[in-house]
Amino acid sequence: MGIPAWRGPGKQRTFLVGLFLVLFFYPSLSAQDDPELSFLPNPVGLNDRFTLSFEVDVPSASMVSIEEWDYPVGIRLYAGPNIRGIVKSREDGTSYPAVSVSYILLSNRTGRILFPRIPFAVGSESRRTGVGIQRVGSYLNSVLSLPLELEWEIPEGPFYEGQTIPAVLVMRNQEEILLPERVSVPASGGGLFEEAPELGEIRRRLYGDTVLYTVPVTGYLFTPTGAGRFFLNKASVTAEGISGTSDAVAVNVEALPGDVAVSGGVGRFDIDVSPLPEGSRVGETVQLTVRITGEGNLAYLTPPEPDFAGLVLVRSEETHDYRASQRGYQGSRESRYLLKAEEEGDYEIHVPAFPFFDPRDNRVVSLPDRRLTLQVLSGGEISIQEETFSLSDLRYTPNEILSAQSTELFRLRYIYLAFVPGPMLLLLFRVRRRRLLQYLVLLLAPLALFMLSASGELMDFDQVRGAEELLMRRDYQAASVVYRDMASEHPRNGRLLFNWALCLEGTGKRAEAVNTVIASARCAVPDQRVRSFWDSLTDSDQYIRQYQLPVYFPPAVSFILLLIFYNLFFLAAVLAMFFKRSYLLLVSLLFGTLSFAAAGLFGHAAYVRSTPVAVVASDVVSRRIPRDSAEAWLELPEGLTVKVTQQSGDFLLLSTAYGVEGWVGSGDILRSDDLFQDNKERE
């Protein structure tokens, strides 16, 4: 008896696979598309009636039942639902029965009304429609327009007294991104209201087949100064001729716990206290830095005030680096204190504990206090005015000055012809290989002549000697005149400029002395005597100096090395090709690497020597804005080094080492790159 064909192994396997596919795809084959919502008319005027409808492909209206659903805010039912049978047509011209469900609705608010999925049932099967958007506008000059939907966005509370609350004014449910032309936001009372336009970002979402945007208009940081109920006022915006007004938003603010009253900090913070030096001397200044970092009301909290226990506070400065964020201000605040002791001994500095309230964890956090010890020894700071110390002890001797008087090769135009022999040698080798040695001698001879031709400019030894004698006798005024005349003829002799700076300090011209030392450091790498004199000049101002004496490789030496290694690179390359030796190729690569290193040293020296530096010519008060009538801002002492960051007319914007900026007149500073002009004007 044979096996029926439909029960064979292959047929049975095919049947099982087909059954599995039918069961797997049955839900998708049997599923029906969600009915689409239709609005007529769309858009519609405010308080006008409109029809909401959808269609269900079933043969009888008795099969469809409507479930309860929540109408969007501002929408109310006028009539419906109306369920009736209709006849629909297919693309091939045939018709079939269906069911239409419709509502008549009213809207008492303008904007884009987002309708949810409406639930209904077909027999015992529960189904839902798709989502829909009805646009409700108002008539202006007989033209129906859709106003902007404005809204204040603020984080979830609770909020506390002194907490910085970010508030972003946004345009919601926009079908295109509009740029605001006019924004009117009245300031909120009961606190500090600062604009922060960087808050907020454009958000995009898909509602049905429509893309809707939430566009930030502007942002603010609101910091209430007390507890109670506050309001973000109504705001109005106009964009591309379309206007809109937001509702006011109430903000309930609770009182801070009493433990936080001393600082008023609300957020999350950390505190760092800079270490003190191991020891100091009487009269020397030390710096203490208290830095608060974190996120919250960083701009308005009160940092802990250190107790210096017998030390003298010379000066205090505060700087900040923070920006608006979704939780207030994010960044840091620094308080810097310059201190000194008038007597020897051990001093203790106490930085109190810093309490703040963390609204995210709803708890008070107290960062512990810090205690620092400073040991002060007798002896005092070295002052160049003391009788035990003479300016002449730091001078350069005539022989040292003359030995530094040489022409810098890179300032001679013709010396750059010395870069030609290397490439020319390679070119000639490629043309005429047999006469390599003759070409080598022919091309390297001019290089040697160029190197030997650089000689120092002549300087009168007797004149240098006479200036030294005046300096040794402490006749600083006369010595200053002689050194100035010589420096005007030899402006790149750094040692000569340094001796002139000694004389300027001896005559009490502190700012000119500082400026001349800077010019000296630009022409010659500062040695220990220059740095000692610099420390004495700048530390006595009780300010942190902006400018530091540079450290760089002598540019004249690096230029000569560049010239040598550059030509040796081509020479080794030609020899490697002539003798076909691999080690000569390695030598060529070595000289190429050394050429790049020498070029880097030369470029670094040129950059360091060209860094702009300014010196305050005399005690001056900077202004907040570049006007003589502007409010006084910061006192700048004579000899303070600063950065010039901007110019406006005859005013310059100066930045101190603390990062504090202020405007002064251009005649209130000295520049080392215009050394002789500045000094002549002051004489």
| DSSP letter string, 622-637 | EESSS-TTSPEEEEE-
Closest CA to 611 of 537, 548, 659, 676: 548
| Pair of tokens at residue 571 | 């020479």
Percent of the chain that is helix, strand, coil (3-state, to 5)? 30, 35, 35
CA separation (Å) from 664 to 366, 389, 471, 628? Answer: 43, 35, 35, 9
pLDDT cut 90: percent of the chain above it: 19
CA separation (Å) from 668 to 187, 404, 407, 628, 671? Answer: 41, 33, 34, 13, 10
Q: Is the pLDDT of residue 333 over 60?
A: yes
d(CA 629, CA 213): 48
pLDDT given for residue 546 in this prediction? 59
Closest CA to 232 of 219, 242, 214: 219
Q: Is the pLDDT of residue 429 over 80?
A: no
d(CA 280, CA 657): 22
Does 637 or 457 have the greater pLDDT score?
A: 637
Residue carrying structure tokens 């047509």: 89
d(CA 544, CA 510): 16
> Which of 215-224, 425-434, 580-589 is predicted least confidently?
425-434
Residue type at 416 in one-letter notation: Y
pLDDT given for residue 116 in this prediction? 93
pLDDT given for residue 391 in this prediction? 73
Question: What is the mean predicted confidence (pLDDT) over 497-522?
Answer: 84
Q: Is the pLDDT of residue 499 over 80?
A: yes
Q: What is the pLDDT of residues 98-156, one digit of tens each?
A: 999 999 999 988 889 999 999 999 988 999 999 999 999 988 777 888 888 899 999 88
d(CA 668, CA 614): 10
d(CA 547, CA 612): 10
Render 291-345 in DSSP notation, one character per residue: EEEEEESTTTS-----B-TT-EEEEEEEEEEEEEETTEEEEEEEEEEEEE-SS-E
Is-contact 398 375, C-beta < 8 A? no
Question: What is the mean predicted confidence (pLDDT) over 188-201?
Answer: 84
Question: What is the mean predicted confidence (pLDDT) over 57-79?
Answer: 90
pTM equals 0.52
DSSP 549: -
Q: What is the pLDDT of residues 24-63, one digit of tens each?
A: 443 433 446 789 999 999 999 989 999 999 999 998 888 9
pLDDT given for residue 102 in this prediction? 94
pLDDT band with cut points at 50, 70 and 90 for residue 72: very high
Closest CA to 124 of 58, 36, 65, 59: 65
Q: Is the pLDDT of residue 182 over 70?
A: yes
Q: Is the pLDDT of residue 246 over 70?
A: yes
d(CA 105, CA 101): 13
Is-contact 50 73, C-beta < 8 A? no
Question: What is the mean predicted confidence (pLDDT) over 164-190?
Answer: 87
Pick the most confident of 64-73, 565-574, 633-642: 64-73
pLDDT given for residue 100 in this prediction? 93
pLDDT band with cut points at 50, 70 and 90 for residue 20: low
CA separation (Å) from 292 to 2, 285, 306, 331, 581? Answer: 93, 23, 14, 8, 64
> Where are the alpha helices (H) located in 348-412, listed in sequence order?
398-403
pLDDT given for residue 115 in this prediction? 94
pLDDT given for residue 655 in this prediction? 79
pLDDT band with cut points at 50, 70 and 90 for residue 10: low
Indicate the average pLDDT of the chain.
80
